[in-house]
Amino acid sequence: MEIKSKNLKELEEVCSDIRARIIDVVSKKGGHFSSTLGAVELTVAMHKVFDVEKDPFIYDVSHQCYPHKLINGRWDEFETIRQFNGLSGFTKPKESDADYFVAGHSSTSISLAVGAAKSIKLKKEDRIPVVMIGDGSMSAGMVYEALNELGDLKLPVVIVLNDNEMSIAKPIGAISKYLSKILAGKFYQNFRDRVDRNIIQKLPEGAIYIAKKMEESMKLITPGILFEEMGIDYIGPIDGHDLEEIIETLNLAKNIKKPVIVHAHTTKGKGYPIAEGQHEHWHGVGPFDVDSGKFVKKATAKSATVVFADALCELARKHENIVGVTAAMPSGTGIDKLIKEFPTRFWDVAIAEQHAVTSMAAMAKEGFKPFITIYSTFLQRGFDQIIHDVCLMNLPVVFAIDRAGIVGNDGETHQGAFDISYLRFIPNMILCAPRDDKSLAYVLDFAYEATSPCAIRYPRGAFSESELESSEFEVNKFELGKAQLLKEGTSKKLLIGYGAGVNRAIQTEKLHKDDMAILDLRFVKPLDEKLLSELSKKYDEWYVFSDSQKQGGVGSAILEFLNKEKIHINLNSFEYEDDFIQHGDTKKVEENLGILPFQLVEKIN
């Protein structure tokens, strides 16, 4: 879409067209909604002022990138957003050269911009990195690490701070806007340089102190003092929906030739009145009726997240030493319910997984029982803290790992494939998983009593379809390192399930002609070595079912045990292969991976 040659009126029409396209497609397909609607004018202005063909456009998290995709040659293909084999819901360089970097996790954008700016300087090129970052992402420490270096290097980078919650600073009115622009404009920049070079440096020491204090006091009347003190110029706050003002401001920022933050206030859901404002449920949506705003709801079983939250709430009522934390996902993890009931014992620490882990480690040392509830994909961000601050001290922290396994439409950046692999090799760590709702409640009871770090994984959505619930088998309470044999078999085949993989094993066994034994492994660390040794005498074909990466996963753990004991078994693992898993409807993704029950029957045959 041609942007550069269009006048202001034409650009405003482009914004209207983009919003209409997003509302039409997302209402049918689902996707990120309110955040991307709120960023339309900012995105159009960025493409007007900067050159996407040479300037790196870097979107933080990139759930606000739909307008960018529509501008950059994906208007018709937009119908496939987040669908299997369709467009990603995030920026993805494989789709377009306009997408500078893969994004899906927050707070990486400014670090990427610093790296790009260093490269541009070394190559002596005339390019400038442009970042769009939301105010929520500013809660992560990585942002300030990047700003700290950027302020020191003074490399040209323009950072558009998309503030849709007024969480950074409140506008002070027209005077603040005017002074901010004056401070960033060519006249003031040149004037300040001349004053510093020709006057201040030649003044007596006392006068220099007074002059410097006067300059600092000018900054105090703007909300950008934090950034200015870090060496980053600041413009704003500006109206993030006033296209003329945004274009004017971005041109100012572009010409400064130094790092600058443009602080823009926007409204989430802008252009679709029902979603405008701070409505969390409009951030990421399923299909909905455009006229009424009502979501198209499907009858579903109770999700593992809800079961977890209910069970933990009941446990917290019994034990006053239970505390908990999440990192910016209170409703997504179910912790919002506990924050509401126990506001002094459960916290949302914003996008700060490292801080979440380490702060709970200290609470464990003080005698509390912390439950850290974070999605599998986001727990990766606190990896060093898990090792250094929890496991090294052997502190009894519980990691409740939500969204373990395939998460569907969010794709590669969000699939919960790696938690078993990256936790299993850490000393002192216990790894366990429930297979259904009842065993999830039992595993929380176990975790509360555990005296070492304990990680529990459970899937997005419900454990299984209701007609295939594993509750047809007795559910026992959890004992450390004890598996549960669900059924014996008359064949030589043993199906070993872990977590949600147990239900896939049950479904596969029902479809297969052979009568096969089924084991609910329950613990991948420590393994139930005694039971596995006994089963090896009766069954010599083992098949592993787990929603996890094959390398370092459940099958690897069992193979290590078999090798140690010199037990000869034909073992096959149906875990994920060595690749990143694409986005799309979960069933279609699983079919593409060849792990639906009817496909597994064929593999076993």
Tell me the residue length of the chain.
Answer: 605
DSSP element (H, E) containing 338: helix 335-341
522 is catalytic: no
92, 177, 268, 403: which one is catalytic?
268
Helix axes 205-220, 174-184, angle to 10 degrees: 130
Q: Over the range 43-69, which residues count as b (16 or more CB within 10 Å of their CB) and which as e?
A: bbbbbbbbebeebbbbbbbbbbbbbbb
Instruction: Retrieve residue 396's tokens.
Output: 């009894």
Determine whether 127 is an active site residue.
no
Helices (H), 74-140: 109-122
CA 75 – CA 418 distance, rounded (Å) = 34
Chain centroid to CA 596: how far? 27
Helix (H) or strand (E) holding 362: helix 353-365
**Cα–Cα dist 58/324, whole Å:** 34
d(CA 386, CA 426): 9
Structure tokens at 400: 């409740």
For residue 167, the number of C-alpha atoms closer than 13 Å in the C-beta half-sphere is 14
From 41, 353, 469, 509, the catalytic residue? 353
- Token code pair at residue 433: 């998983």
123 noted as active-site residue? no
Alpha-helical (H) ranges within 366-475 are 376-379, 383-385, 419-424, 437-449
What single-letter DSSP state applies at residue 271? T
Q: What letter would DSSP give residue 583?
A: P
Residues known to be catalytic: 268, 353, 381
